[in-house]
Amino acid sequence: MRHNYILLIMAATFCLLSCKTNSVNTIYQFTAQSNQGEEVSFADYRGKVLLVVNTASKCGFTPQYDGLEALYQKYAGRGLVVIGFPCDQFGHQEPGTDEEIEEFCRKNHGVTFPLMSKIEVNGENAHPIYKWLVSQAGFAGFAPEHPLSKLLDEMFSKADPDYASKPDIKWNFTKFLIDRKGKVVGRFEPTTEPEQLEKLIEEQL
């Protein structure tokens, strides 16, 4: 009897550890606050393809809002959700409140995809979603054909010669593509334009 009890406890423990390990592999374990102050469970996006982006309103890459919205408009009906996480960690390029950010995005870029409350994506106070994202996909390198890639590489190399080996977010508009099972299938740096992801998004849809 005691032997069976021990086996039962061991089986239950294994199940719990297994479930916990599996949950770490998906985005569905996380929650985040919307820019309306509501808690959003990413489990609600189960079965969707997600494009998660850290955004900023006063950045040289800010026009990418247009491309992100175009992707959302084209593929939302097939299951794509673009999710913007405003962040002010890079050049103080997102100084506004959540309300100001939403108004800017709506008026200047026609954004209708979900925007979350402003967060940090690097460092001790990084949002748990971003700690997980960078653990799943490290820095992929700047697109060699982009005119700003050389400048960015020189800037980061000057500050840290070993920057390319570190997985942290380098700048605004870094993009993570999440498949319908909640797993990261690709990371794309700011020098990858949203429209360049269209084929990969279609493959996931």
- Could you read off the pLDDT of 137-189 as tens digits, one per residue? 999 899 999 999 999 999 999 999 999 999 999 999 999 999 999 999 999 99
**Cβ within 8 Å of residue 148, ≥6 positions away:** 60, 142, 191
Residues 63-97: tens digit of each pLDDT: 999 999 999 999 999 999 999 999 999 999 999 99
Residue 59 a catalytic site member = yes
Q: Is residue 86 helix, strand or coil?
A: strand
Reading across the β-sheet that carries 175-178, which strands appear in turn?
Answer: 80-86, 49-55, 175-178, 184-188
Distance of CA 81 to the CA centre of its chain: 12
Marked catalytic residue, from 19, 59, 87, 105: 59
Distance spanning both ends of the chain, measured CA to CA: 52
93 backbone dihedrals φ, ψ, rounded to 5°: -100, 5
Distance of CA 112 to the CA centre of its chain: 17
Contact indicator for 35, 117 with CB cutoff of 8 Å: yes
Q: Which of 99, 130, 131 is nearest to 115 (CA)?
A: 99
Q: Hunting for tokens 């950045």 — which residue is that?
A: 59
Domains and CATH numbers, the chain: 30-204 (3.40.30.10)
Dist CA 108 CA 101 (whole Å): 11
Q: Hunting for tokens 């032997």 — which residue is that?
A: 3
The per-residue pLDDT for 2 is: 47
Residues 180-205: tens digit of each pLDDT: 999 999 999 999 999 999 999 999 99
Dist CA 199 CA 205 (whole Å): 10
Q: Which of 182, 172, 168, 91 is nearest to 130 (CA)?
A: 168
